[in-house]
């Protein structure tokens, strides 16, 4: 069953804000190349999820081949980055996320109702979309990641929590962009968003 448009707008807004924050982090001074690559991957994922989650079938206006090309390329790039030293786990996590976006776009293109923004919501009943085993595995993966990430944030033990970018001394915006906890929070939020979108299939 297609979700409420209000819920879809909230999901799209949350993913959009998260993607924009990751995009803004690309401009912060002092960040090394590896961190910028990670921010770019997260920005693509967040903004893509926001566009896909828009209600009333707006996501269907984007051709499925464009979704597949965008997130397929992002997945290949993340896999290649995962072979480099540093942030390997994060890049591999994003590779799975980008491939999951391709999967959701293909399922939505098949005409199965239930996807937020991507589905028309006109069909009644609506069985399980896509491949149940794959959808279930992705739900476990992203649900588990979000749960572990949330626990780490509460305990202040997120990966990289001790390493803070210099930001702009004395600037609230600079400190916000350089806060070491927020990238981990963004990944947790993106994981929750992926879980919610997969759950609606």
| Tens-place pLDDT, residues 16-53 | 999 999 888 887 777 778 788 888 889 999 999 999 88
Confidence (pLDDT) at 189: 92
Query: 88-109 vs 33-53: helix axis angle to the nearest 10?
Result: 20
Helix, strand or coil, per DSSP, at residue 161: coil
pLDDT range class, residue 161, cuts 50, 70, 90: very low
Both tokens of residue 193? Answer: 């968003």
This prediction's pTM: 0.78
pLDDT in tens, 105-153: 898 888 655 555 554 433 334 444 689 999 999 999 999 999 988 888 7
């Amino acid at each position: 069953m297609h979700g409420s448009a209000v819920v879809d707008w909230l999901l799209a807004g949350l993913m959009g804000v998260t993607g924009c924050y990751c995009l803004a982090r690309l401009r912060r001074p002092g960040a090394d190349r590896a961190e910028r690559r990670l921010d770019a991957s997260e920005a693509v994922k967040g903004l893509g999820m926001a566009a896909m989650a828009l209600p009333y079938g707006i996501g269907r206006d984007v051709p499925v081949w464009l979704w597949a090309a965008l997130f397929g390329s992002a997945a290949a790039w993340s896999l290649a980055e995962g072979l480099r030293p540093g942030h390997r786990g994060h890049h591999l996590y994003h590779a799975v996320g980008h491939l999951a976006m391709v999967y959701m776009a293909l399922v939505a293109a098949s005409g199965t109702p239930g996807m937020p923004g991507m589905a028309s919501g006109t069909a009644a009943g609506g069985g399980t979309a896509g491949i149940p085993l794959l959808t279930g595995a992705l739900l476990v993966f992203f649900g588990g990641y979000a749960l572990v990430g949330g626990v780490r944030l509460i305990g202040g033990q997120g990966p990289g929590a001790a390493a803070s970018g210099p930001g702009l001394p004395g600037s609230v915006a600079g400190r916000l962009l350089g806060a070491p906890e927020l990238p981990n929070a963004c990944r947790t939020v993106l994981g929750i968003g992926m879980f919610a979108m997969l759950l609606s299939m």
